[in-house]
Amino acid sequence: MIRTQRYKYPLQLPHSLKETAARLAREDSVSLNQWIVSAVAQKIGAVETAEEFLKSRVGKAKRGDLTRLLDRAPNVPPTPVDAIKGDHVVD
């Protein structure tokens, strides 16, 4: 079994966050430390997954590509189905 090296980090949480995290850890039947490690790992995974997804979607696009595309769009009001409620159309 490979042992992961661990580091101690003095974490300062607002009281309300600490109490909520402690309650959730109890509900999950894990220590507060285990729960925080899991929460940090989940956040890292979400951020890295989103970053990879966005990088893959950008492809070879360059800054300004979307602006040039939008500049070619006609200047017309949205169709009723696309209009945002509360918007009014000015003739």
Q: Is residue 50 part of a domain?
A: yes
Averaged pLDDT in 10-residue chunks for the chain of 91 residues: 83 96 97 96 92 83 85 89 72 50
Angle between helices 15-27 and 32-58 (to 10 degrees): 100
Query: How confident is the model at residue 85, as a pLDDT?
Result: 79
Q: Does 32 map to a domain?
A: yes
- DSSP string of 18-62, one letter each residue: HHHHHHHHHHTTS-HHHHHHHHHHHHHHHHHHHHHHHHHHHTT--
Report the number of distinct structural domains present in the chain: 1
In a domain, 39, yes or no: yes
Residue 88 domain flag: no
Q: Does residue 57 sit within a domain? A: yes
Please tell me the predicted confidence (pLDDT) of residue 88: 59
Residue 46 within any structural domain of the chain: yes
The confidence score (pLDDT) of residue 40 equals 96
- Measured in Å, how far apart are the chain's first and last C-alpha atoms? 72
The reply to whether 48 falls in a domain is: yes
62: domain range?
A: 15-71
pTM greater than the 0.85 cutoff:
no
Tell me, yes or no, whether 31 lies in a domain.
yes
Specify the DSSP element, H or E, that contains 15. helix 15-27
